[in-house]
Every structure is written in structure tokens, then in C-alpha cells.
Homo-oligomer: A and B are copies of this chain.
């Protein structure tokens, strides 16, 4: 794998770090404290943890005499690296009112300064760690948005992520007029036979995308578009949340126990004219039937597919299909991929456009039927960074393609995101296969 030049690294570092802080700028200090469920983390924690990552894996390793900015942060902001040491319990992150936002931003400043000093002399190994740290921070950019969305959704006041986010009407209408929701089923043949899977490029990838290997695909078809809110509403309104028929046993039990009646963030309006609305980062809005459905769990995606007489694609079917139409030279940090990504700041899946009718990238992560497991011959790196991906390969499912909260410089064809089958607070949607 190639590594960044020192200059490119410096540039990227600045851009990624700045984007993170731009994302939190609309928030009040109070917003940045709350942990609304164990899976999610307070904004302040994300800001500090990503900084801790650079300090721990880059700065502290660069010199035996390194003096941490705030030694007590090692324990507080270590997420899950047992090789580094004990961790403050994840489910209690919301109990910490200190360090305050101001202190955390000062911590970022100081680490940024130290990284800037290091970069001109950085070794290739250090540049690789830096690049990993940037991809790590991009993952947390997405989590900052999905976690704060969950926090705000718990509040009966229905607060908006930012006051000025109200759709620029013109822009939205432009998008609408361009939109051309594909009609009908829209299937295309997938790639069958022996295919090669995994990251073969020279650019950055995570360890879980390696090694490249061959697998054999049976003939199949893939939908050329995402499932929309309108289509999913039929599933809801035909009572499929009240009957076990299409559900996995575990999914049905979970749905009953948690009182699921629709995707996360949907609710029926109380007006006489019964309709549905959904919570977005812009507050409560009427459900748009043309938008891709989002915030569904694997359980719901799987049940929906079965109800339609279809299934979810495997991650290999997805990757092989996209490989045939994908321009891989864009797969690096310097050339952003087009589509509805974090940078567009819509922060909401949008109806498909003529330019992106298939929405393979962006908008919503697509659940696959593939359990998250190691590729044949997979080897995690030695030491703490070996804990990044490998130890989570159990009871999770792979998602592909990125979402409206993913950076356009972060996603690629071989990228494997993963969540447990009951997770709903990410922008997760559905593509059918058969």
C-alpha cells in the first residue's frame, strides 16, 4: 500500500480535523454531554477520542520521552484498546461533565500543534498511522452526526441540529426536479462465477478488506435502486410489524421486546389526516415516499426483503457488481466521490437523481446478508492496532456503500462497515437481490 507524502498528509490532516470541528459548531455545550444509549457517545467524547488516537498511536510512539498533554485522558478516551490499558466504561460516558467542551477543544489544539511539528520529519510508518488516524476520525465524523441525531430525537422539544439547516428551497427543488425515481423492479444480472474480492489498489484500506481472494458467485440479480420510504410504508401499513411471518426469530423477539412499529425516527402524526413523519437532523418532517428508507435494522431489512419475495445481497455480490462499473482511481483522499455524502450537508438520504439512479454510494449504508467475518488468510496487525477491526468479527453484518453522513473521501468499493443486526441509529437502508 502506498503511503501519503508528508505534504499531502499535512493537508489532509488539517482538512479532516477542521471538518470535524465544523460539524460540532452548531451544537450547544449542553448537547455535547449527553449519551442517549450505550452504543452512542457524547460529542465531546468523539472529539477527544479521535485526538487521543493521534496522541497515543502517533505522538507517544514517536518519542520515548513523550509527555502526554493530559495523562488522565489515556483512561478516559481509550475506546477499546486493551493493549493500551484499561478503559472508562463505555456505558458511563454520559456521566462525565468534564473535561468541558472548551477543555477538549484546547486538547485538540495542542495535539494538532504537536502533530504539525512531527509531520515534516515523519517516517513512512508514522505517515501510515496518520492516515489510519484520519480514516478513524472520518468514521467518528459519521458517528458524531448519528449519535447527536439520536440524542436530539429523545427530546420532546424535537430540537434541530442547526437552526439554519432548513432546506434551501431552491436547492431542494432543483434536486427534486432532477429526481427520477426508477419505476418498477429494475433488476440487473449480478456477476456470476469466480470473482476476486478485496482491496487490490495501492491506496489506503482497512485490514478487514484484505487479503484479496477468490470466491464463487451463483447467478443472481441485483436491484438497481434502493427501497424507498413509500415502499417500506406498505410493509408497515400492511401490518408486518404485528405478525411474525417474515421475520427472523431473533428479529421478531427483538421487535416485540422493544415495541418496534416502524423504522427508527418514524411516527404517525396526530392530526386527523393520519400521515407519517420522521425525525431528521432538521427536526420532524413529513415522510417523503421517494427518499430511500433509512434507520432500519438488519432484522427489518431482511424481513422486508422476504416479504417482497426477495433477499438481501451478499457483500461479495455487491462488490463484484460495483467493480464492473466503478472508477477506482477515485479511491483516494484527494478526489472526492460524487453523491449524497457528508460534504453535501443534506444529512438526509435523498430521492435518487438521474446522475445517481442506483445510489450505490452515499445516501444510506446497504445491509448485506453477509455476516462480518475475516477474509481467508486475514491477519490483523500486531499490537493495539490489531484490535481495530478483527475482534469485532462476530454477530455483526456487513454494510456497503456509505451514507449521507460518510465523507466522500472515506468510502470505497471494498469498504466493509459492520453493525449488529438490531442497530438502527445509523443511516442504514435496503437494496434487494434475488
Instruction: Specify how many copies of this chain sit in the oligomer.
Output: 4
- Complex: how many Å from CA A55 to CA B252? 27
* A285 within 8 Å of B (CB atoms): no
The contact of A155 among B83, B97, B373, by CB within 8 Å, is: B97
User: Chain A, interface size: which category?
Assistant: 35 or more
* A30 within 8 Å of B (CB atoms): yes
Complex interface: chain B residues within 8 A of A152 (CB): 97
**In the bound complex, do residue A157 and residue B99 qualify as a contact, i.e. CB atoms below 8 Å apart?**
yes
Minimum distance in angstroms from A145 CB to a CB of chain B:
15
* A307 within 8 Å of B (CB atoms): no
Complex interface: chain B residues within 8 A of A76 (CB): 156-157
Q: Which residue from chain B places its CB closest to the CB of A70 in the assembled complex?
A: B157
**In the bound complex, do residue A248 and residue B98 qualify as a contact, i.e. CB atoms below 8 Å apart?**
no
- Complex: how many Å from CA A94 to CA B72? 25
Q: Which residue from chain B places its CB closest to the CB of A153 in the assembled complex?
A: B95
Q: For residues 23 through 59 of chain A, which have their beta carbon under 8 Å from a beta carbon of chain B?
A: 28-34, 36, 44
15 CB contacts below 8 A, A to B, read A29-B30, A29-B100, A30-B101, A34-B97, A72-B156, A75-B156, A82-B244, A92-B154, A97-B152, A98-B155, A215-B215, A218-B376, A220-B376, A249-B391, A302-B394
A interface residue numbers (CB < 8 A to B): 28-34, 36, 44, 72, 75-76, 80, 82-83, 88, 92, 94-101, 151-152, 154-157, 159, 194, 213-216, 218, 220, 244-245, 247-252, 298-299, 302, 369-371, 373-374, 376-377, 391-395, 421
